[in-house]
């Protein structure tokens, strides 16, 4: 089957090479996950609390009835993605734009169509839907552009393929997209097929990474790979292979993210057995080499993890989250931000009919941070249909029999979750706006092209590179409270992706500072990291050490306070 970028949407997962299914190891059951997303207890530091009930994104407004009419069922929406854009609101106030995109056509080889809906209140409500060229979630590049790939590469030769690239300026923030084409280069002979799956990653040196599952002549099937571009997305070369086919099994959708320590973690879908299962590998050299693939396992559970379409998210608070589905939709977390062990897996949404566990939702999900300790997950209600040999709709995954818990709508829903944190987090931005906190700082660098840079950038809940307080050299950032506060711990993110240092001082009167209460040396941050304070203070001073190889627009020397949190 020839797959071209211009004429396809989400490929049916039944269209794979004929391979004898391989059962899981004898005696190892498949995981059955808890459906209890309960409030965090005093000892459950990293439990995810449900912050709201599932809300409809599409249809909009929310469906008036339990079951759609035959014509309403033809308004297709499935396979969702979600992205969060750091923007500035009226008066330059930091804000977020949440965009959900989804397929609006059959799960077939037909013209690609996608819809989008926008939220300006952190994903609580979404407005009317419109068309978008996006299939996969974009990432903000260091140069300020938003960058995404189209879904399917188009083979152009034995060792090359063409991939559509979509970019949007920070000013437009996803409102309009410029399409260009990149060339993918691989050392092995390609067959047609495959997809560029998942959110891109940009390393600190500017390299853009995308994951692709490609099919090769040597094996006749798929493997999960990583491609890298050092020219801003004009050309990509295969940097490493995450998972090669073996034993009648092949690997497709791979989600890659930078973990808290800067390593790359990949979670990959494996096919060819009775069920799709999830596996993972890690790279410590920017994706060139990968550790041996191993099964994803949940802490304290001896079982095989089923799933498709894995998604990884490192939150600004340093929690690594894994989202996947089929059956149902679920989340699991890695409290240390590394992903070596996944804890507290929870079913977050299902739409069952009591007949087959894979009926209902497709299990394709997406997640994004809408705050340092808050995230949104989007799911579909019913898997999009394909067509049968006679050209009629194949709705076996979501038949119109009236038995589904949430009805037979082909629609998109959203869930919001809050990550519990130890102690009471002080809302520093709210305290500043109310007058209970005053900030004095030398970290005042900003630019019309970097509107989120400035003193408020350290308090806005985002760990985006340019959402920082910036100094041209040594930086001083002081927090002056209206009264003494008992402070238990501090969270800091310095210059993202670069080794940096800082010292934290506490004072009762704002004049006598003494020795540092926290010292950071040559630490590379990709999210906030936390240190114990155990001090009562009215004033806090953070001194950021200068670093070299700074952005030319700032100068030869710079320092950043990307984000700061305090707990009492």
pLDDT digits (tens, 9 = 90+) for 10-31: 333 333 332 333 344 566 899 9
Residue 290 is assigned to a structural domain of this protein: yes
| Rounded-to-integer distance, Cα 476 and Cα 513, Å | 13
Q: Is 242 left (phi over 0), alpha (psi -120 to 50) or beta?
A: alpha
Which percentage of the chain shows pLDDT scores above 90? 80
Asked if the structure places residue 41 within a domain, the reply is no
Strand order across the beta sheet in which 130-132 lies: 78-88, 94-103, 114-119, 130-132
Tell me, what's the pLDDT at 113? 87
Domain containing residue 538: 428-567
If asked whether residues 445 and 302 sit together in one domain, one would say no
Q: Are residues 400 and 474 both part of a single domain?
A: no
**Total number of domains in the chain:** 2
Task: Pull the structure tokens for residue 389.
Answer: 């040999």
Residues 141 and 275 in one domain: yes
CATH number for the domain that contains residue 493: 2.60.120.260
C-alpha span between 216 and 230 (Å, rounded): 25
Last residue of a domain, one of 394, 419, 444: 419
Decide if 175 is inside a domain.
Answer: yes
What's the CA angle centered on 402, arms 397 and 408, to 5 degrees? 50
Tell me, yes or no, whether 316 and 435 share the same domain: no
Q: Domain check: are 126 and 274 in the same one?
A: yes
Q: Do the domain assignments include residue 24?
A: no
Among residues 505, 542, 502, 548, the alpha carbon closest in space to that of 521 is found at 502
Same domain, 483 and 353: no
Mean per-residue pLDDT, 322-349? 95
Domain shared by 412 and 439, yes or no: no
pTM above 0.85, yes or no: yes
Q: Do 455 and 412 belong to one domain?
A: no
- What's the chain's Rg over C-alpha atoms? 24
Q: Are strands 475-493 and 563-567 parallel, antiparallel or unpaired?
A: antiparallel
pLDDT in the model for residue 25 = 57
pLDDT at 394: 87
The answer as to whether 457 is a domain residue is yes
Among the candidates 402, 419, 436, a domain finishes at 419
Could you tell me the CATH number of the domain that includes residue 100?
2.120.10.10
417: left (phi over 0), alpha (psi -120 to 50) or beta: beta
Q: Which residue has the tokens 């087959």?
A: 356
Residue 7 lies in a domain: no
Task: Tell me whether residue 20 is in a domain.
Answer: no
- Rounded Cα gap, residues 495 and 499, in angstroms: 7
Averaged pLDDT, 530-534: 96
**Hey, what are 400's tokens?**
């119109």
The answer on 432 and 409 residing in a single domain is: no
| More confident call, 253 vs 21 | 253
Cis before 430? omega within 30: no
**Listed range (304-313, 383-392, 506-515, 555-564) with the worst mean pLDDT:** 383-392
Q: Using CA atoms, how far apart are residues 258 and 467, in angstroms rounded to an integer?
A: 18
Residues 332 and 261 in one domain: yes
Quickly tell me which residue has 């990653």 as its tokens: 201
Tell me the Ramachandran region of residue 326: left when phi exceeds 0, alpha when psi lies from -120 to 50, beta otherwise.
left
Average pLDDT of the segment spanning 504-517: 96
- Please tell me the distance from the alpha carbon of residue 34 to that of residue 39, in angstroms, as a whole number: 14
Instruction: Find which of 59-63, 124-128, 309-313 is predicted with most confidence, using mean pLDDT.
Output: 309-313
User: Does 186 lie in the same domain as 167?
Assistant: yes
Residue 35 has a pLDDT of: 83
Question: pLDDT, tens digit, for every residue of 405-440?
Answer: 999 999 999 999 999 888 899 999 999 999 999 999
Of the candidates 199, 171, 163, 153, the one whose C-alpha atom is nearest the C-alpha of residue 3 is 153
**What pLDDT score does 386 carry?**
87
Residues 6+ apart with CB under 8 A from 282: 259, 263, 264, 265, 266, 290, 291, 339
9 part of a folded domain: no
407 and 300 housed in the same domain: yes
Last residue of a domain, one of 357, 391, 419: 419
What number is the average pLDDT over the span 377-385? 96
């Amino acid at each position: 089957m020839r797959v071209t970028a211009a004429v396809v949407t989400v490929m049916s997962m039944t269209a794979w090479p004929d391979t004898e299914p391989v059962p899981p190891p004898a005696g190892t059951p498949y995981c059955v996950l808890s459906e209890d997303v309960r409030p965090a207890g005093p000892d459950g530091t990293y439990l995810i609390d449900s912050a709201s009930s599932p809300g409809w994104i599409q249809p909009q407004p929310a469906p008036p009835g339990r079951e759609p009419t035959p014509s309403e069922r033809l308004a297709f929406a499935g396979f969702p993605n979600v992205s969060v854009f750091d923007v500035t609101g009226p008066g330059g106030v930091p804000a977020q734009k949440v965009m959900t995109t989804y397929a609006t056509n059959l799960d077939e080889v037909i013209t690609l169509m996608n819809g989008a809906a926008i939220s300006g209140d952190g994903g609580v409500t979404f407005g009317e839907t419109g068309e978008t060229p996006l299939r996969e979630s974009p990432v903000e590049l260091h140069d300020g552009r938003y960058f995404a790939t189209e879904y399917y590469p188009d083979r152009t030769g034995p060792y090359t393929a063409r991939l559509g690239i979509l970019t949007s300026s920070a000013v437009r923030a996803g409102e309009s997209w410029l399409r260009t084409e990149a060339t993918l280069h691989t050392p092995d002979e390609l067959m047609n097929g495959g997809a560029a799956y998942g959110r891109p990653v940009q390393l600190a040196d500017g390299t853009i990474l995308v994951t692709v599952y490609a099919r090769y002549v040597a094996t006749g099937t798929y493997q999960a790979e990583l491609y890298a571009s050092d020219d801003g997305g004009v050309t990509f070369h295969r940097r490493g292979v995450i998972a090669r086919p073996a034993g009648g099994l092949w690997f497709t959708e791979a989600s890659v993210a930078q973990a808290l320590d800067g390593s790359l973690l990949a979670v990959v879908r494996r096919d060819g057995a009775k069920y799709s299962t999830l596996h993972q590998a890690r790279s410590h050299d920017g994706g060139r080499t990968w550790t041996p693939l191993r099964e994803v396992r949940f802490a304290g559970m001896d079982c095989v993890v089923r799933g498709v379409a894995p998604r990884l998210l490192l939150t600004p608070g340093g929690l690594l989250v894994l989202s996947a589905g089929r059956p149902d939709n679920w989340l699991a977390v890695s409290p240390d931000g590394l992903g070596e062990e996944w804890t507290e897996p929870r079913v977050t949404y299902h739409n069952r009919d009591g007949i087959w566990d894979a009926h209902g939702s497709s299990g394709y999900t997406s997640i994004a941070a809408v705050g340092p300790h808050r995230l949104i997950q989007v799911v579909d209600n019913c898997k999009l249909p394909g067509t049968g040999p006679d050209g009629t709709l194949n709705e076996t995954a979501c038949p119109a029999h009236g038995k589904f818990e949430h009805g037979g709508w082909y629609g998109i829903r959203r869930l919001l979750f809050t990550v519990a944190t130890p102690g009471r987090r002080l809302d520093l931005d709210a305290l500043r706006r109310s007058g209970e906190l005053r900030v004095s700082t030398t970290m005042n660098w900003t630019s019309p092209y970097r509107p989120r840079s400035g003193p408020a950038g350290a308090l806005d809940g985002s760990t985006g590179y340019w959402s920082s307080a910036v100094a041209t050299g040594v930086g001083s950032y002081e927090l002056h409270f209206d009264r003494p506060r008992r402070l238990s711990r501090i969270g800091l993110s310095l210059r993202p992706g670069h080794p940096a240092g800082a010292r934290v001082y506490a004072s009762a009167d704002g004049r006598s500072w003494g020795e540092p209460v926290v010292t950071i040396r040559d630490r590379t941050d990709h999210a906030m990291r936390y240190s114990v304070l155990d001090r009562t203070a009215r004033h806090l001073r953070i001194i950021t050490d200068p670093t070299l190889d700074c952005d030319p627009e700032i100068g030869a020397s710079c320092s950043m306070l990307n984000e700061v949190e305090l707990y009492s």
